[in-house]
Amino acid sequence: MNPKPEDSRDGVTASTIVPMTMEAQDGQQRPKKINLRRPDIMEAVQAQVLSHYRSNLVERIRANGHVLSVPGVLTVTLAKEFGFCYGVERAIDLAYAARKAFPDRRIFLLGEIIHNPEVNDQIRRMGIVTIASRPDDAEIEAITPEDIVIIPAFGTEVATRKKLEARGCTFVDTTCGDVMSVWKRVRQYSKESVTSIIHGKAWHEETLATSSQARANGSGHYLVVFNLSETDYVCNYILDGGDKAVFLEKFKGAYSDGFDPDLHLKAVGVANQTTMLRGETEEVQRRLRVAMERKHGPDKVGDHFRFFDTICGATQDRQDALEKLLRIPPDLLLVIGGYNSSNTSHLAEMGESILPTYFIKNGSKMVSTGLIQHWDQHKREEVETRDWLPWGPLTVGVTAGASCPNNLIEEVIERLFELKGVEIPGLPSPVS
């Protein structure tokens, strides 16, 4: 993972902003900060989080070289990097800490804390109420100054935060530090009158939050490109122009109000949703740079093109680990995580290009040796595949997205051994 964001795990800096004011030297009122990471809170939180999400089996497999095997029957190979990243752990810790710190106050969560249904269900069971990630007026008006609002790991849009600030509520901001690094870059582009080209999914909460940062000062612009095909379309428009109406229709819902491709593609800066494939983001950067060099000349490219590496370190670690696992492909690959998890979907995408790959959210989706229910990214729906688990000796690769807890990985591995009709072999306990 990249270096830890501004709140460290020692709890020195507060992560929660409470609407009690204190006067600064400039005479302005500033929110008072409190520390949710006090030892008395975090000791209880850590115990609760471990009880919900820890897996002794996964830790033993990790200590055994990431392999669990009954020779001649079943071998499970676990990727070297998998599951919860620091940003996800932090978001969950802060949500649990908010419940401990404010046991008698209403707590609301904007959308999902992370993209994992089991984790979000557990958050709701703690009495934290989910509202829309982009709340309507009725939801906003229901918030009072006594309420707590949790901002999820993806962040929230500038307009949503401003509306909630006007209600005087307390924020618990769990926004990932890597996401905030992208925001900083996008805001800088805006100040320099550079249009942000955001490689991402225009409908994803993180990209919605990031694109709103381009408009934070009221004058910036952005355009979201999803893939290399859309990038090429933009590059061709930069070089040769085209029909503006057709361009705007093609990218409808993926650009800022007032965006004009004839005006706002003269200087661009690339940013990205942090969970995209690094190689694809790098190719987006390369193609746009080449287009600007051809349009304006190599000597002038610095006036028309900017970029900054904003791929999340944990995302890249999991992609690199899966790439290494697939160098000697197993018989099939199981990718575990929430179906709306961007980083998990890219792991499944990597596997699908090489071997039979099944993107599942938990062990119950392996119904039998003859039936598995899994997510089809192309149809964007859960589908069923028959006769998915071969007879005879079998090697299964397993990985999980950054929002998948270890207990769900354990559940999948246990189900595999159950379906193959063998007991899980004993393993030495991990060294603490």
Catalytic residue IDs: 206
Strand ranges for 165-323 from DSSP E: 170-173, 195-199, 222-225, 268-272, 305-307
Residue 197 three-state SS: strand
Q: Of 307, 281, 311, whose CA–CA distance to 292 is shortest? A: 307
Cβ-contact 354, 326 below 8 angstroms: yes
d(CA 316, CA 313): 5
Write the CA distances from 257 to 192, 199, 222, 234, integer angstroms. Answer: 18, 18, 9, 18
Instruction: Look at the alpha carbons of 328, 329, 331, 337 in this order and tell me if their dihedral is positive or negative.
Output: positive
Stretch (H or E) spanning 185: helix 177-191
Pairs from 135-142 (Cβ < 8 Å, separation ≥ 24): 135/110, 135/160, 135/163, 135/164, 140/164, 140/167, 141/167
